[in-house]
C-alpha cells in the first residue's frame, strides 16, 4: 500500500475551479457541437432533478405517491451529486484536456473536496465517501478506490463530460473517463463509466440510438457484468417497443425485470444503473422526454439512471430536444454536495468543453478554464 502527496498542476498548485458563470438564455444553433454539448449536460441535469425525488423507490411506491411522474414534482427542482460531480469532471477536462492524468484528478479531489472543511457533502454516494476517506488518510490512487463501493455508478454519473469532450471518439472518451475513475472506482465501476462516456461521445455526432448503444458496448469487456446487463436491457427494450399489446407500464416493467436483481439492497450498482439507463434510452428510441421519464419511473437509483438517459438523449437530439420548460428550470448548482461547485451552470461547462481552448492540452493554470461571470455579479 503506497501513500504520497498528490501532484500539483502545471501551474504549481492543485487546480482550483474557474469562477462560476451564468449561461446565456439563447439557444445555440441546432446540430452544432455546442448544441449537442448543451443537450448532453443540460439533459444530465434535467434527468438528475426529475429523478431525485424517486431515488431508491420502487415503481409501485412512485405510483402510490405521484401516479406516473411526467414532470418535476418539486416546486424548486435541483440536481444532486450527479450534476455537481459532472461539473467537477468537466472543469478538469477544460483544465487539462487529453493530457489529463490520474495525479491531476487526485490533486483536484484534494483541493476541491477532501482538504476542505465545508460540511458533510450531503448526498454523496458511498463510493465518493470511501474515496474521500482514503484521500484524507494520505492514500494515493489507485489505492484510493479500494473501498466497498468501487463497483458503484458514481463514475457513470459524472461520465458525460468525457463524451462531450471526445465527441465522435468513443474510445478516447472511454480512455479519459477511466483516468478520472481510477481515483474512485475499479472493475465494473470503471466499465459503467466507460460505457456512459462512449455512448455520449457517439451521440454527440447525432447518429442513431443503435449506434450509441453499439459504441457503449464496444469499449467494455464483452463478458463483463455491465455489458451483459446493458445487452439484456436494450434487447428487452427493443422487443417491448415493437409489441403494441404492451402498456407503458408493462414495457418499463420488462426492462426493469431484465436488469434489476430482486432483493439486492444497493441501488447504486453500476451494471444495474447503466443497464436501466440504456434500456430507457432504447425503449424510447432516443427520444428525450421518453428516455428520461422511463428511467425516472423505473425507480432504484433514479436520479443517476435518469441523468445518464438524459445525457445520452440530450447529446443525440441536441439542446432543442429537451422540453423548454425543463431546461429553463435548470439553474446554477447549489453546492449541496460539493460546496466548491456552487454557482456553476452546466451550460457554461458544455460551452467550455467544445471550445478550442479545451482541446489544446494543458493551460497555464486555472485561469485557462475561467468562466467570466458569477450569477448577478462579475467574478473576482
What does the DSSP 8-state code read for residue 8? P
Give the closest residue to 360 by CA, choosing from 168, 10, 99, 11.
99
Contacts for 139 with CB less than 8 Å, ≥ 6 apart: 1, 2, 3
Is 144 annotated as contributing to ligand binding? no
Average pLDDT over residues 355-376: 45
Mean pLDDT (the chain) is 86
Grid coordinates standing for 216? 457503449
Q: What is the mean pLDDT of residues 210-221?
A: 98
Contact between 59 and 252 (Cβ < 8 Å): yes
For residue 264, is pLDDT > 90?
no
CB of 271 within 8 A of CB of 229?
Answer: yes
**Residue 180 marked ligand-binding:** no
Mean pLDDT value across residues 193-212: 97
Question: Do the domain assignments include residue 271?
Answer: yes
pLDDT at 1: 32
Residues with Cβ within 8 Å of 242's Cβ and at least 6 positions away in sequence, in order, are none
Over residues 47-76, mean pLDDT? 96
Q: pLDDT digits over 174-198, tens only?
A: 999 999 999 999 999 999 999 999 9
- Confidence class of residue 136 from pLDDT cuts 50, 70 and 90? confident
Would residue 378 count as lying in a domain? Answer: no
The predicted structure's pLDDT at residue 23: 46
Does 81 count as an annotated binding residue? yes
Residue 106 lies in a domain: yes
- Are the C-beta atoms of 286 and 311 separated by less than 8 Å? no
Residue 104 is labelled as binding a ligand: no
What CATH number does residue 340 fall under?
1.10.4080.10
Q: Is residue 8 part of a domain?
A: no
115 is in an annotated binding site: no
Range of the domain at 161: 54-65+77-363
pLDDT confidence tier of residue 362, bands split at 50, 70 and 90: low
The reply, when asked if residue 83 is annotated as ligand binding, is: no
> Is 235 inside any structural domain?
yes
Please give the backbone phi and psi of residue 319, each rounded to the nearest 5 degrees, phi first: -60, -35
- What are 89-135's pLDDT values in tens digits? 999 999 999 999 999 999 999 999 888 875 555 556 677 778 888 88
Asked whether residue 320 is domain-assigned, the answer is: yes
Q: Is residue 350 part of a domain?
A: yes
Before 142, cis peptide (omega within 30)? yes
Number of domains in the chain: 1
CB within 8 Å of 316: residues ≥ 6 apart: 36, 39, 203, 206, 207, 209, 212, 286
For residue 139, is pLDDT > 80? yes
pLDDT value at residue 15: 44
Statement: residue 12 has pLDDT above 50: no
pLDDT tens digits for range 231-240: 999 999 999 9
Residue 103, pLDDT score:
96
Q: Where are the beta strands (DSSP E) in the chain?
A: 373-374, 377-378
- Of the candidates 372, 358, 360, 337, the one whose C-alpha atom is nearest the C-alpha of residue 113 is 337
- CA-CA-CA-CA dihedral for 343, 95, 337, 197, to nearest 10: 110
> Is 327 inside a domain boundary?
yes
pLDDT of residue 17: 43
Amino acid at each position: 500500500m503506497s501513500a504520497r502527496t498528490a501532484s500539483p498542476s502545471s501551474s504549481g498548485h492543485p487546480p482550483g475551479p474557474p469562477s462560476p458563470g451564468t449561461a446565456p438564455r439563447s439557444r445555440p444553433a441546432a446540430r452544432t457541437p455546442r448544441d449537442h454539448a448543451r443537450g448532453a449536460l443540460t439533459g444530465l441535469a434535467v434527468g438528475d432533478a426529475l429523478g431525485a425525488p424517486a431515488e431508491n423507490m420502487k415503481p409501485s411506491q412512485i405510483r402510490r405517491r405521484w401516479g406516473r411522474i411526467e414532470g418535476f414534482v418539486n416546486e424548486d427542482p435541483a440536481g444532486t451529486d450527479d450534476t455537481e460531480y459532472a461539473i467537477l469532471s468537466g472543469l478538469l477536462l477544460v483544465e487539462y484536456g487529453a493530457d489529463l492524468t490520474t495525479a491531476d484528478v487526485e490533486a483536484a479531489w484534494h483541493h476541491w473536496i477532501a482538504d476542505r472543511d465545508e460540511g458533510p457533502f450531503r448526498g454523496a454516494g458511498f463510493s465518493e465517501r470511501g474515496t474521500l476517506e482514503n484521500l484524507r488518510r494520505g492514500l494515493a490512487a489507485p489505492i484510493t478506490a479500494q473501498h466497498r463501493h468501487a463497483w458503484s455508478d458514481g463514475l457513470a454519473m459524472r461520465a458525460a463530460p468525457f463524451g462531450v469532450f471526445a465527441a465522435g471518439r468513443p474510445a478516447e472518451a472511454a480512455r479519459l473517463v477511466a483516468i478520472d475513475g481510477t481515483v474512485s472506482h475499479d472493475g465494473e465501476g470503471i466499465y459503467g463509466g466507460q460505457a456512459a462516456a462512449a455512448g455520449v461521445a457517439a451521440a454527440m455526432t447525432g447518429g442513431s440510438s443503435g449506434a450509441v448503444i453499439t459504441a457503449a458496448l464496444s469499449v467494455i469487456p464483452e463478458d463483463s457484468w455491465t455489458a451483459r446487463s446493458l445487452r439484456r436491457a436494450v434487447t428487452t427494450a427493443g422487443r417491448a417497443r415493437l409489441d403494441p399489446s404492451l402498456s407503458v407500464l408493462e414495457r418499463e416493467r420488462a426492462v426493469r425485470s431484465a436488469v434489476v436483481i430482486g432483493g439486492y439492497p444497493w441501488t447504486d450498482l453500476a451494471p444495474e444503473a447503466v443497464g436501466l439507463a440504456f434500456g430507457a434510452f432504447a425503449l424510447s428510441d432516443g427520444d428525450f422526454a421518453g428516455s428520461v421519464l422511463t428511467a425516472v419511473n423505473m425507480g432504484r437509483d433514479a436520479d443517476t439512471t435518469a441523468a445518464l438517459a438524459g445525457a445520452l438523449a440530450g447529446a443525440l437530439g441536441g439542446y432543442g430536444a429537451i422540453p423548454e420548460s425543463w431546461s429553463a428550470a435548470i439553474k446554477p448548482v447549489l453546492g449541496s454536495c460539493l460546496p466548491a461547485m456552487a454557482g456553476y451552470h452546466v451550460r457554461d461547462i458544455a460551452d467550455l468543453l467544445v471550445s478550442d481552448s479545451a482541446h489544446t492540452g494543458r493551460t497555464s493554470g486555472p485561469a485557462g478554464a475561467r468562466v467570466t461571470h458569477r450569477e448577478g455579479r462579475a467574478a473576482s
